[in-house]
Structure 1
Amino acid sequence: MSSSTRVSLALLAGVVFGVSATLTHSVFAEKQVPAETLPLKDLQTFVEILNRVKSDYVEPVKDETLLENAVRGMLSGLDPHSSYLDKEEYKDLNASTTGKFGGLGIEVQLKDGLVKVVSPIDDTPAAKAGVKAGDLIVKIDDTPVKGLTLQDAVSKMRGDPGTKIVLTLIRENAPAPLVLELKRDYIKVASVRGRSIEPGFGYIRISQFTATTGKNLSEELAKLKKAGELKGLVLDLRNNPGGLLTAAVDVSDEFLNKGAIVSIKGRDADSTREFDASVGDALDGKPLVVLVNGGSASAAEIVAGALQDQKRGVLIGSKTFGKGSVQTILPLNNDSAIKITTARYYTPSGRSIQAEGIVPDVTIQPFKVSKLDPSEFGEGVHEADLKGRLDNPNAKPEEIKAQDKGKEGKTDEKKEGDKGKDKDVKKDEPINVADLPVNDYELYEALTLLKGLSITQNR
């Protein structure tokens, strides 16, 4: 490819239906391909096969279809992330950089002839229907997935917004296949969402890395700071399939004051580049806890790796997906494109996470937490509950009176049969902390760790 070619780098964990595979930045590359002797015998074999298919296949096939299939096979045979993109697929790919596209909102890749879910995207049909990272799609409507190419499966799952589709999934430890009905929709991804967990402790969720993620992160941080002193932050990268390399660099740069963020290295000098942090930490050194899991891939792993290597944040959760390669999007003259792996990326310490993933500093294996009825185990007996106990010499008379009244109230409460109901959390609280252990145990542990780090830092 000797002409001036528009090139884009991509960080992708698979293919997203409708399509969330995204690009980084565009550059113009002038690369001369050295002339080499073509493998004449192999080309003759290819032409022979082409002619045999044209003459002997059970049904006529257009030359364009045969050649496109040959190109798809050539690229998909390289690795799971290289592929051919026809006009519509390339259009969907470009649209995904805005964070708005049509489909199911699910990222997948091919594994052992089946379609494996890398990650569902927040607030999309896939996430709402209960699709989870690690699920294997075995049937699309009435069509078995086994034997289909990834692109065939993608095509079958695409469709007009509002139309329905039935997916049959196999989930680890599930006793039987799961059958889910989904309704296709336009996917509008809010890639960054911020909330307050408790006074002084913030929570920011990044669902994927789009062109505006860095800017949106800065805005959410500003809102949290405006609401009051920010003692620490939980950054949630769980089930984040990746996206723009530049967005990953921007997010990392928000929390790093100096040093390397990531480097990419290809087979020649033109494909090698290092990204460094600029001066300034948006949290001013306050504690940062990063949540990751097996659905955290690609650009999400760049952020996690940079913060871990630079000792800027504590990673908590489970091992990440392990995609450490960079894809380049090469547009073609017919409005299609090819996506081809051109480099590997490395964390600041020089490690490649390709097919390895990032092991968090604190590992939490997924499990289900049940809420206990306080009446089943009681509230325990304390010194203040003992008859004739000594009063605290520093306590005010009204406090002692309140303790005695509270003790009597507990006895009356038992007699009245009010089984120690949980204290209701106010509706205006951004996150129901009381229910966190049951609803999101990993976030509960992250908050607990964040509080500990904040206490330690302020001593």
Structure 2
Amino acid sequence: MRLQPAVLLGAGLVLGLSVGALDLATAEDVSTAVAEQAAAEPDDALPLDDLRTFADVFGRIKDDYVEQVDDKALIESAIRGMLAGLDPHSSYLNGEEYRDLQVGTSGEFGGLGIEVGMEDGFVKVIAPIDDTPAQRAGLKAGDMIVRIDDKPVKGLSLSEAVKLMRGKPGTEIKLTIMRSTDEKPFEVRIERAIIQVASVKSRILEPGYGYLRLTHFQAHTTDDMLEAIDALKKQTEGNLKGLVLDLRNNPGGVLNGAVGVSDAFLTEGKIVYTEGRVKNSEMEFNAGPDDVLNGAPIVVLVNGGSASASEIVAGALQDHRRAIVMGTQTFGKGSVQTIVPIDDSRALKLTTARYYTPSGRSIQAQGITPDIKLEHGEFKPEANQNLVSVKEADLVRHLDEPEQPSETPAEEAADQPLAVEDFQLSEALNVLKGLTILGRADTN
């Protein structure tokens, strides 16, 4: 089966951008498969009585509703209702929503920069995207949006809520946020902007140890990541001892990106496979023979905002024992959506399969359990200032050492320690160093 170029995996909707879809087949493929299945299951006859009831209700609304309703609007609402009753990721895409989906993999769109879904009738922030208005405003994974510009979210569909949050770049929106049941709701004002997502960021943490942050899985993420790793190797003069792969708050994206990223670090075996009722929804992806790091250790950081494609990468590297996964339980989005075009301007996003890690684990509603659980902590050096410790310099008649010039420039000494900047990342680096030391011990 031919894999489409816009294969998407995601947890919900990026504001102004529909994601969460895996384009496994063309409309013709799916229609043919469904027809074959119907022929194989003759007992599944059309529910004629229920269809008559639908027609009766349609006619009653047309004749008796207090205001005249357009036939097209009624039918579209019925289609939306059918799909909304299935699962949170199946939906009907009108012309505007379908266009958003088609351009969504380019890495540029208008909005706030948050990945959202629906939970208990409210809009839930799955993950804020790096360097966007939403992240700068302090929104966090798990936040519940209860009001949009003072309009209650309860009763709105996800698409309707997203439309309210869209707007002209430069205009302001007010969101009422509930962070936990123990706290009072608070208001956040955010200025809309054109969101340009850089899916790959990298830097050297310490000599020999690289850091790679993937914010989204886009069509060019694998190539960008390989370029970033080459740059890290040059910075370390070919001595890249280990890598921290940061997938925190990465809500997913293009399936090809997830497969490519996993394949870059694996030399054989399955990466991910899917199973569903329709034959064309069954796929399997396998790794090639090359490892871009030549076996150097990897620590993968994840959290509750790591979803779908991120979980594919974390699960594949974990199952092959290629990386240590650290952080908190991931989101748990393990279903597959097929984009089925209705015509040139409309489509269905239909859940058609579940995906599985190489060992056969289903991530759906479970997520990836880290090898090392590590909550988001905060390192406070001042907390230790009141502790009394005795050093040689405190002893009576201690020998003084001639003063030595400082080897650390003043501006570097003033930098924040990594543990203060990002506690989880600091701990991941410590584990990475330990893996490197163990690797050296194994070779001696």
Q: Residue 426 of structure 1: SS of its match in structure 2?
A: helix
- Match in the other structure for 1:16: 14
CA contact (8 A) 1:294 1:320 kept: yes
Stretches of structure 2 lacking an aligned partner (at least 5 in a row):
none
CA contact (8 A) 2:149 2:174 kept: yes
CA contact (8 A) 2:271 2:285 kept: yes
- Match in the other structure for 1:452: 434
Q: In the TM superposition, what whole-angstrom CA distance separates every residue of 1:150-189 from its partner, at most 9, and x where no partner exists?
A: 1211111111211111100100266321200111111110
Residue 423 of structure 1: CA displacement?
8.5
Q: Give the counterpart letter for 2:57 in structure 1.
A: I
- Match in the other structure for 1:64: 72
Residue 406 of structure 1: CA displacement?
4.2
Q: How many residues align?
A: 426
Residue 259 of structure 1: CA displacement?
1.2
- Match in the other structure for 2:401: 404
**Correspondence list, 1:358-377, <5 A:** 358-372=368-382, 376-377=386-387
Relative distance call for 1:423 and 1:178 in structure 2 (3 A) is: farther
Q: In the TM superposition, what whole-angstrom CA distance separates every residue of 1:24-77 from its partner, at most 9, and x where no partner exists?
A: 567545342136632111111111111222222222221111111111111111
CA contact (8 A) 2:337 2:349 kept: yes
Q: In the TM superposition, what whole-angstrom CA distance separates every residue of 1:71-100 from its partner, at most 9, and x where no partner exists?
A: 111111110000011111111111111111
Distance 1:20 1:268 in 2: 24
Residue 383 of structure 1: CA displacement?
8.9
Relative distance call for 1:383 and 1:450 in structure 2 (3 A) is: farther
Residue 320 of structure 1: CA displacement?
0.3
Relative distance call for 1:174 and 1:123 in structure 2 (3 A) is: farther
- Quote the sequence identity (%): 51
Asked if 1:348 is matched to 2:358, the reply is: yes
Residue 334 of structure 1: CA displacement?
4.8
CA contact (8 A) 2:24 2:280 kept: no
Residue 270 of structure 1: CA displacement?
2.1
Residue 286 of structure 1: CA displacement?
0.7
Distance 2:219 2:344 in 1: 26
Distance 1:99 1:368 in 2: 32
Aligned-pair Cα RMSD in Å:
2.6
Residue 370 of structure 1: CA displacement?
2.2
Relative distance call for 1:249 and 1:380 in structure 2 (3 A) is: farther
- Match in the other structure for 2:188: 180
CA contact (8 A) 1:22 1:210 kept: no
Q: Which of 178, 190, 202 is matched with 2:198 structurally?
A: 190
- Match in the other structure for 1:288: 298
TM (normalized to structure 1)?
A: 0.87
Relative distance call for 1:252 and 1:237 in structure 2 (3 A) is: same
Distance 1:386 1:448 in 2: 37
CA contact (8 A) 2:12 2:18 kept: no
Distance 1:84 1:149 in 2: 12
User: Bigger shift: 148-157 or 8-17?
Assistant: 8-17
Residue 373 of structure 1: CA displacement?
7.1
Q: Which of 414, 426, 429 is matched with 2:412 structurally?
A: 426
User: Bigger shift: 265-274 or 322-331?
Assistant: 265-274
Stretches of structure 1 lacking an aligned partner (at least 5 in a row):
390-402, 410-421
**Correspondence list, 1:3-402, <5 A:** 9-19=7-17, 21=19, 27-28=25-26, 29-30=28-29, 31-32=31-32, 33=35, 34=38, 37-172=45-180, 175-228=183-236, 229-372=239-382, 376-377=386-387, 380-382=390-392, 387=397
CA contact (8 A) 1:22 1:97 kept: no
CA contact (8 A) 1:196 1:203 kept: yes
Distance 1:292 1:147 in 2: 32
Relative distance call for 1:171 and 1:88 in structure 2 (3 A) is: same
Q: In the TM superposition, what whole-angstrom CA distance separates every residue of 1:196-225 from its partner, at most 9, and x where no partner exists?
A: 111110000000100000000000000000
Relative distance call for 1:27 and 1:38 in structure 2 (3 A) is: closer
TM (normalized to structure 2)?
A: 0.90
Q: Look at both structures and tell me which one has the larger radius of gyration over its CA atoms.
A: 1
